[in-house]
Structure 1
Amino acid sequence: MMNANTILKSQLVSAHGSAPKKVTHINYDSRKVNTNGCFVCISGKSTDGHKFIEMAISQGCVQIIGDQQDSLLEHAERSPHVQFLHVKDSKKALALYSSHLHQHVHKSMRLIGVTGTHGKTTITAYIRSLLNGAGIKTGSIGTAGVWDHQKMLPLDKSTPTTPESSDLHAYLSLMKKKDISSVVMEATSIGIDQERLYGLHFDIAVHSNLYPEHLDYHETFENYKKAKLSLFEKAGTSVVNIDDAGMSKDIISVFKGTLWTYGLSDDADVHAKNITFSKRGCCVDLIVKGRLFSVFLPILGVHNVYNFLASVCVCLAKGMTIGDLLPLFQKLEGPPGRLQLIPEFANRTMIFDFAHTPLALEQLFKTVEPLSYNRLILMITGIGIREKSLRAPIAKAAEGRADEIVVTADHPGEELPIDIVNDVLDGFETIGPQIHPVPNRGEAIKKAMGLTEEGDLLLITGICMENFQIVKGRKVPYYDYDHVKAFLNSSRNSRERELELTESDGAVYQS
């Protein structure tokens, strides 16, 4: 029998009906609950899970959890063979029950939570890269997907960044079976506020920075900050960006555990000086507790230097030495599509970047300013599953900033890619021969690569990190890098054929 009191603890208000002999799975989506399942009713802004109780029962659900007593009692009278559990907070109950079904594996794992407005995805990737490089099997969960210690896992995420608790515990259980001992995850303000991390303890909590965001959800900046700060109440060690005016002082003033600080300020435990950028990365003087180390990093942008410093602090907090870390820096791996250098494109500098808004494009242009190159080739994109009003401004932000501009479409959704491209084109004041509309994203990448010459800089922007495109409501498998490889292979084959013809001509001539 499933003992609800033991599982749900103080969250349980009352129980109606006999406890099921067996519960094999739990979900907040009635469509994903079947025989021997538990359905948790969550009330949201757009819908209410209590409305789908009958659907869940018709699919074999044996247990219902909710926080609306009247609705539960009404259904309990009609379905006496199902147990109904009235709880104080459905989301907390979902987290507790999910943890129980997965044998509380999180308690035997070292969890690292990363929060902040910008940088979470990159910090998460850097930490995973360094820890795995040091032999500590580490997985990650966040915007870039769910990764084990070797690769991204083919899992559908319930949310863009911080998963719902039932999915999160399932991912942790999967990683435990792979002998992964540490997991680093992005902790969004909304995910924290919605109790997706309820019941978890973090060995280390990382702060990147704080700027106003998600105020449509939180309503005020203080509420937004409060959600972020609560992560540090669940942690034993904090890593704080000392240069951030948004939240660093708030954390430092109240945190009672072990504290590591980073930044460009001399006051930070780990800081950087004398940063110089090249096409392949940057050279940095890294100062750790007063000791200086000159290192090369395969990253671009001062903001990524900050992200790197945060990841170094995490490794040091986990007991590694700077000597352990130094050999790993040159192989540092960031997330796909975030200022990602593509070294295979010979004699050019090719970068994938997630930029898909005017502001992000402007930041990207500033980041590449220190690089030396002949011409700038740029690919921009309109996104079908976002508001049409966002498309034309992309063109306005790009106009006059590149020698050649390829315009394409991302995630066309229900629209035709050519219509999305035309919406972007509307933002240009003048459409000359340097503007190249190519509706298919893969073909657009090959077009942009074909426009380059030796010494050029090529920026491929848009949602580069996804392994699918949303077309007519379906996720169609798609990966940018496949088209890069196809272009390089095609170019290589063309050169080989040219060489064969040249050699053949030479042989005839010699005879």
Structure 2
Amino acid sequence: MENLFKQSNVLETISFVVGPSPATVHSITYDSRKVTTNSCFICIKGQHVDGHQYIDSAIKNGAQVIVGSEKELMMDWYFKRPDRTFVVVHDSKKALASFASAFYQNKHKELALTGITGTNGKTTITAYIRSLINALGEPTASIGTAGVWDQYGKVNVETTTPTTPESSDLYTLFDQLRENKTTHVAMEATSIALEQGRLHGLQFDIAVHSNLRPEHLDFHNTMEHYRNAKLKLFQQANKAVVNLDDAGMSAAIINSFQGELWTYSIEQEATVMAQKLQTQQSGTSFDLIVHGKRYSVMAPIFGEHNVANLLAAVTTCMVKGYAIEEIIRCFPLVKGAPGRFQLLTDYPGRQLIFDFAHSPFAFEKLFHTIKPFSYKRLILLIAGIGVRPSYLRPEIAKAVEGKADEIVVTVDHPGDEDPETVMADVISGFINKPEHLHLVGERGEAIQKALSLADEGDLILITGICMENYQIVKGKRLPYDDLKHIHLFLEQDTKTTSA
């Protein structure tokens, strides 16, 4: 792009420029390995890596423009390579967002953006919004933990962060989605992404709040800091959707938000409410109350928490101008995200459920959700997460103690940890070590172990990463698929039965 440095949102990030007049920029990246001829390389500082350390690599790969915030270092490099353009900025993270926005000619402004934040429920709310608005006739995409999905299905893109992409990756996605005729995007906005400026410069049509509970305190240190990070989304939004049942954050949003505000609730008076919930094998029926008018509805979802998530999506659709009668007609088409209380039907004679539960609160909701199900025994797989703080692992065992007939313990994303150590941390949380406890360090083998323990009529709960297609091992993302291991077991089981 020739006029990149003439854009006002780019100019306001720049302190000064040295070197030849910036050449035409062909790409923007913060990863020196992805630099090509005439790239603009932006040095951002992460938790563990500083992009300024890779300037040499970026130049060798063809970077013509180098952007960074370390003034003295940038000047040193200018004296070494006066044939390159060096741009000193006030904040590299904000510069990355502004440069990427300008590079793609602000295409994101052609999309209606909805941001969803909260500790639990973001992924499911995002999926519900995408499926509802698509059913209502508007091509809609979603971005988050479950990956990128557009109106046609899952989009094959490289993920660089667990949930909310880095800003330049995000603007690349926006450009691709716009080219694909997408008009609406629902995306997860994590507290870390908001704090790190990945969403800098975006203005959301709607900001949606789910709830606030202790999490990511290894990054935020305090609940106040965690809450304030999430509140930043509402400073970048025109309208807000708030869960009145959440004491952690709802009041803070209501007291500070200046725009149009809508509410939803199961427990108290709100714009959109749900009452008389009844769970069945096919889903949940309830009374939906909108502006005081009552509708008897049925949706293919399970659990009170998912009814709350659906209320968030319904309220969002109403904020967008859709009539409640239109929205209700689309309820049979509501789809959750993979791995969020996902019922699998490939295992005859047994009930098999995937769920992302990996915290005490999530397990509490999960056990409550399966109460209406009929089954003989409960087979439960739980996982300690190697790349997260070790103090979280025993809490998983405490949350599930006494809840299952068989418990299989494994490891998600071992990282640099020894799987045996991770599993030992998990089981240290049991007050009384279960009699039927199985430790299997490799997740795929653990899934097959859980399946092998089940008899006809049993319910198998596979918890943890579920829908992710990789495992982080020794700093590398290794391909992985839960479903592959289920199919392998079924194939072997069929052969054994036939023999």
Counterpart of 1:139 in structure 2 is: 141
**1:169-318 map, 5 Å:** 169-318=171-320
Distance apart, 1:473 and its partner CA:
4.1
Runs of 5+ consecutive residues of structure 2 not aligned to the other structure: none
Shifted more, 445-454 versus 241-250: the winner is: 445-454
Counterpart-to-counterpart distance in 1, 2:21 and 2:190: 35
Counterpart of 1:508 in structure 2 is: none
Query: Which amino acid is 1:475 matched to?
Result: R
Relative to 1, partners in 2 of residues 1:420 and 1:252: Cα closer, same or farther, differing over 3 Å?
closer
Counterpart-to-counterpart distance in 2, 1:491 and 1:371: 25
Counterpart-to-counterpart distance in 2, 1:358 and 1:256: 35
Aligned residue pairs total: 496
Counterpart of 2:114 in structure 1 is: 112
Question: Residue 330 of structure 2: SS of its match in structure 1?
Answer: helix
The match for 2:329 among 327, 330, 341 is 327
Whether the 8 Å contact between 1:115 and 1:206 is mirrored in structure 2 is yes
Whether the 8 Å contact between 2:444 and 2:485 is mirrored in structure 1 is yes
Counterpart of 1:6 in structure 2 is: 7
Counterpart-to-counterpart distance in 1, 2:161 and 2:338: 18
Query: Which amino acid is 1:88 matched to?
Result: H
TM-score normalised over the length of structure 1: 0.88
1:294-341 per-position Cα deviation (integer Å, ceiling 9, x unaligned): 222222221211111000011112222222222322332111112222
Runs of 5+ consecutive residues of structure 1 not aligned to the other structure: 499-511
Whether the 8 Å contact between 1:242 and 1:261 is mirrored in structure 2 is yes
Shifted more, 13-22 versus 444-453: the winner is: 444-453
Query: Which amino acid is 1:42 matched to?
Result: I
Counterpart-to-counterpart distance in 2, 1:214 and 1:201: 25
Query: Which amino acid is 1:336 matched to?
Result: P
Counterpart of 1:507 in structure 2 is: none
The match for 1:15 among 17, 30, 46 is 17
Relative to 1, partners in 2 of residues 1:24 and 1:404: Cα closer, same or farther, differing over 3 Å?
same
Alpha-carbon RMSD across the aligned residues, in angstroms, is: 2.7
Distance apart, 1:266 and its partner CA:
4.6
1:239-262 per-position Cα deviation (integer Å, ceiling 9, x unaligned): 111222222233233433332211
Relative to 1, partners in 2 of residues 1:464 and 1:455: Cα closer, same or farther, differing over 3 Å?
same
Relative to 1, partners in 2 of residues 1:349 and 1:328: Cα closer, same or farther, differing over 3 Å?
farther
The match for 1:353 among 349, 352, 355 is 355
The match for 2:410 among 402, 405, 408 is 408
Counterpart of 1:364 in structure 2 is: 366
Identity %: 50
Whether the 8 Å contact between 2:4 and 2:103 is mirrored in structure 1 is no
Distance apart, 1:382 and its partner CA:
3.5
Query: Which amino acid is 1:321 matched to?
Result: A
Whether the 8 Å contact between 1:2 and 1:20 is mirrored in structure 2 is no
**1:426-437 map, 5 Å:** 429-430=432-433, 432=435, 434-437=436-439
Whether the 8 Å contact between 1:110 and 1:183 is mirrored in structure 2 is yes
The match for 2:94 among 87, 92, 99 is 92
Counterpart-to-counterpart distance in 1, 2:152 and 2:481: 18
Whether the 8 Å contact between 1:286 and 1:295 is mirrored in structure 2 is yes
Counterpart-to-counterpart distance in 1, 2:170 and 2:320: 23
Counterpart-to-counterpart distance in 2, 1:399 and 1:252: 38
Whether the 8 Å contact between 2:264 and 2:311 is mirrored in structure 1 is yes
Question: Residue 156 of structure 1: SS of its match in structure 2?
Answer: coil
Counterpart of 1:129 in structure 2 is: 131
